[in-house]
Structure 1
Amino acid sequence: MSTVIEQAVEARLIASAPRMPSIPATLRYDARDPYAVRMSFPAPATLEGVDVCWTFARDLLAAGVDQWAGEGDVRVRPYGYDRTVLEFHAPEGTAIVHVRTGELRRFLHRAAVLVPAGHEHLHLDMDGDLAELLRDAC
């Protein structure tokens, strides 16, 4: 069984233009990093013209589809009946995107089937991670 889930989603960039086109994005969850979710945007969808990937807590995304969540670089909140807003804050500026809540819930469900919430610690390789951290310490 695969330990990685990837799901394409349609994101709508919120900007000063009246109606921005949808941009492709990919949500990724890897059981080997069970607390994290990654959301990536391809180069044509970014101001810098390079691929951009944000990593944030799965719990943040799960909480944000129902209520305001986040105080740092990534913030998530419901918007209307069927949308969720994700805000990405960086020194260069802020990107705000809308994603259909159903797509996010489907992704979160698939991740929960792979690693149930509250069982993330069972999927960590603490010995391997510690050995990697200490590998160059001597």
Structure 2
Amino acid sequence: MSTVIEQAVQVRLVAPAPRMDTVPATLRYDLDDPFAVRMAFPAPATLEGVEAVWAFSRELLADGVDEPAGVGDVRVRPFGYDRTVVELHAPEGVAVLHVRTTVLREFLSRTRHLVPAGDEHRFLDLEHDLRELLRDAC
């Protein structure tokens, strides 16, 4: 069984101009970090010309498809019929993205088949993480 789930998505970047640009992105869930979801944007889709990856909690994404969630760098909220808004706040500005809610729900369902919600802690290797933290301490 694979320990990584990836799903390509098309997101609409909301900009001050009247049109909305479609941007490719990849949602990623990795068993090695069971609490997190990553949204990656390829280099051509970013202002800096390098891949950008945002990490945030799976719970935030799950909550945000049904009701506004998040108060920090990543905020998620439902918007109209079958759209979810993902806001990415950075020092350079805010990216407002529209993602199809059905795509997000499908992705979340796949992640829950790998790691049920509430069982994330069972997939952590705390002994390994502690060894990594302490290996340079001596």
2:17 is aligned to: 17
2:134 corresponds in structure 1 to: 134
Paired AA for residue 119 in structure 1: D
SS in 1 for 2:17: coil
Percent of aligned pairs sharing the same letter: 70
Q: Per-residue deviation at 1:123? A: 0.3
Distance in 2, matches of 1:21 and 1:97, equals: 10
The Cα shift of 1:50 comes to 1.1
Between the aligned partners of 1:133 and 1:17, the Cα distance in structure 2 is 47
Structure 1 residue ranges without an equivalent (≥5)? none
| Aligned positions, number | 138
> Partner residue of 2:111?
111
Structure 1, 73-82 or 44-53: larger mean CA deviation: 44-53
CA distance in 2, matches of 1:18, 1:120: 42
> What is the Cα-based RMSD across aligned positions, in Å?
0.6
Flag as ranges the 4+ runs of structure 1 deviating above 2 A.
none
Deviation at 1:5, TM superposition (A): 0.1
State how 1:1-138 maps to structure 2 within 5 Å. Answer: 1-138=1-138
Query: Structure 1, residues 61-87: CA drift from partner, whole Å, max 9, x if none?
Result: 000000000000000000001100000
What is the one-letter code of the residue matched to 1:24? P
**Which runs of no fewer than 5 residues in structure 2 stay unpaired?**
none
Give the superposition deviation at 1:18: 1.3
